[in-house]
Structure 1
Amino acid sequence: MTTTSRSQKALFLALNIVLLVLFVFPLFMILVNSFKDRVDIVRSPLSLPAEWSFKNYSEAYTTMGFTSALLNSLLITIVAVILILIFSSSFAFFLVRWKWRMNNVILMMLIASMIIPFQAIMIPFVSLFGNLHMLNSKWSLIYFYLGFGISLSTFMYHGFVKGVPKEMDEAALIDGAGKVRLFTQIIFPILKPITTTIAILNVLWIWNDFLLPSLVLVSPEDRTLPLSTFYFFGKYTSNYGVAMAALVFSMIPVVIFYIVMQRQIIRGVVEGAVK
């Protein structure tokens, strides 16, 4: 190994260590400060707690209604992601296999819709659906996630479906399979790599989303985990210790999800990239 190659490896390692510290340090500070009281956090936020106490966790669990918020987040995330996968995959299959003139226009409209930021339509969105009495409901929020998430998911599925040989469709139809059976039993299983990738992206987006639920969900019993942690920050005062504990509670399900699905996540991303 030459001196230049060793220097490059050492530089690469040092850069990775710096990036690791930059990413891990905020999480570490949240965890450390969750064991402090408010005075200690304000006085010395970077120091370790003089006395490790779980008082913030018990208070956060009760105040934020952790069980209710967790169930709301799980319900909204699971149902919304399943609907996005079903509708976007079947829609992409339709756009690819049925050569209608309008299909390219529809695809361009889906791509164009991804360019428009949600903040630009936030006020008319609330005004319109508020007049239709579609706010303050978990099911309305799921419907909105389907609308906002289907464009990117369909676009990703569209590129993957184009790589599936059309001869498979013809062989299945000759064997007597209908179009619904063709998609559900033959095409959709082939889309597993990209389905895993799209599911991961949507789970992380919906689970961590704050803006859309804050506009739609008003009742405390319907709050998701991100909404529940927000209410520890008031206009004139903030209970930082309890808020940090609430943030730790919010991160635990995501960490468990990643640990359980780690192999599938890596496999799905790699296979999707190779395809």
Structure 2
Amino acid sequence: MTTEKLEHVETNVEKTPKRIPQRPLRPGTYSWNLGIIELVAILLGLLYLVPFYYVVANSFKSMAEIFTNTSALPNEWLTSNYTEAWEAMNYGRVFLNSLLITVGANAVIVIFTSMAAWKLVRTKHWISTMIFFLFVAAMVIPFQSIMIPLVKVSSILGLLNSHWGLIVMYLGFGSGISVFLYHGFMKSIPEEIEEAAIIDGCSTWGVFWRIVFPLLKPITVTIVILNSLWIWNDFLLPSLVLRDVELRTIPLATFYFFGQYTKQWDLALAGLVLGIVPLLVFFFGMQKHIIKGITSGSIK
């Protein structure tokens, strides 16, 4: 190695900034901050659990004890409230109705809105932008302002008193937020993947279902959870559409414990718990996919 090269290397070594070791944060300061955050999180968690505690605790009480001892645990745990509520609600039937509507609506929403969002993202035209803004604008329209025209139009189309008619309506109400979420997620998917599939002879239909849609799993899980929560618990739209007793959902069946002159709080609260349990099972069953979806979305 020549003298000039040695001088050049020495100069570069001298110019290289030396790392200054950082002093670790004092344990007291860090632990105090972390402790305050944990305390606030615990208090917020307890605050959110208070209504759930009232529902569960009072669902095991008699009517007299509910009014005289609302906040405390039951003196006698009455499991008979659940058996009576199960029979009065015809729980097996209403559970299947709610499950059919929730699963059917989610399937239709995911299929149609994912394809719509993909086409809107890949079509570089002002018309596609306007259509996307229409989907977004639909999210701010209150349901109460359109429910009377909706019932009239649904009656003309023969969608009333039908599970499938209700699913079609949920497709309309769930499209706005679903297209919005899919649209934002698809922007992170490179178009080169689709172009390579087309060069290999894949059709447009195949590109979406074989290439694009599997990449949408994280956001699809999020959309399914969000839609399941409001569809399963929805009361107003099914009350307008479903007139037959055999077609009732769990919220509608629970509502019938509140009559004009009597209110069966013990059975109603037991019915509410019976309606909450499937959602909790669904959430804990999907917890792995929820965390995976959140982390995957953050990486993208």
Shorter chain as normaliser: what TM range? over 0.9
Query: Residue in 1 aligned with 2:89?
Result: 64
1:135 corresponds to: 160
Please, which moves more after superposition, 157-166 or 95-104?
95-104
Q: 1:83 aligns with which of 92, 108, 111?
A: 108
1:28-61: per-residue Cα shift (whole Å, max 9, x none)? Answer: 1211111111111011111222211211101100
Q: Contact 1:196–1:269 at 8 Å: present in 2 too? A: no
C-alpha contact (below 8 Å) 1:33/1:244 kept by paired residues: yes
Partner residue of 2:284 out of 238, 247, 259: 259
1:233 equivalent to 2:258? Answer yes
Please, which of 32, 43, 48 is the counterpart of residue 68 of structure 2? 43
Per-residue displacement from partner, 1:177-223 (whole Å, max 9, x unpaired)? 00000111001111111111111111112111111111111111111
2:198 maps to which residue? 173
Give the match's secondary structure for 1:49: coil
> Which residue among 146, 157, 181 is the counterpart of 1:121?
146
State how many pairs are aligned: 275
User: Which residues of structure 2 form unaligned runs of 5+?
Assistant: 1-25
Which has the larger Rg? 2
Q: CA deviation at 1:17?
A: 2.1
AA aligned opposite 2:245:
P
Determine whether 1:28 maps to 2:53.
Answer: yes
CA contact (8 A) 1:57 1:246 kept: yes
For the pair 1:190 / 2:210, whether they are aligned, the reply is no
Could you say which residue in structure 1 is the equivalent of 2:39? 14
For the residues of structure 2 that align with 1:184 and 1:224, how far apart are their CA atoms?
33
C-alpha separation between the residues in 1 aligned to 2:285 and 2:159?
35
Secondary structure of 2:261 counterpart: coil
Would you say the 8 A contact 1:232–1:242 is kept in 2? yes
* Cα distance, 1:2 vs structure 2: 5.1
Aligned partner of residue 188 in structure 2, secondary structure: coil
Q: Distance in 2 between matches of 1:191 and 1:89?
A: 9
Residues 36, 52 of structure 1: 8 Å contact kept = yes
TM-score computed with the length of structure 2 as normaliser? 0.87
Query: Partner amino acid for 2:299?
Result: V
Q: Which has the higher contact order (CA 8 A, sep 6+)?
A: 1
In structure 1, the gaps of 5 or more residues are none
SS at match of 1:115: coil
- Report the AA paired with residue 31 of structure 1: V
Q: What does residue 5 of structure 2 align with?
A: none
Rounded Cα–Cα distance in structure 2 between residues aligned with 1:171 and 1:11: 52
Provide the residue aligned with 2:178 in structure 1.
153
Are 2:77 and 1:52 equivalent residues in the alignment?
yes
Shift of 1:65: 0.9
Distance 2:204 2:247 in 1: 39
Letter of the aligned partner of 1:163 in structure 2? S
* Pairwise CA distance, 1:228: 1.1
Distance 1:219 1:185 in 2: 41
What's the CA shift for 1:3?
4.4
| Paired amino acid for 1:10 | G
Among 175, 189, 210, which residue is 2:235 paired with? 210
**Judging changes above 3 Å, is the alpha-carbon distance between structure 1 residues 188 and 17 closer, same or farther for their aligned structure 2 residues?**
same
- How many angstroms apart in 2 are the aligned matches of 1:6 and 1:267? 29
Q: Distance in 1 between matches of 2:247 and 2:298?
A: 38
The TM-score normalised by the length of structure 1 is 0.95
Note if 1:250 corresponds to 2:275.
yes
Quote the RMSD (CA, aligned, Å): 1.5
Distance 2:165 2:39 in 1: 48
Deviation of the 1:106 alpha carbon: 0.7
Write the distance in 2 (CA, Å) between the matches of 1:9 and 1:162. Answer: 36
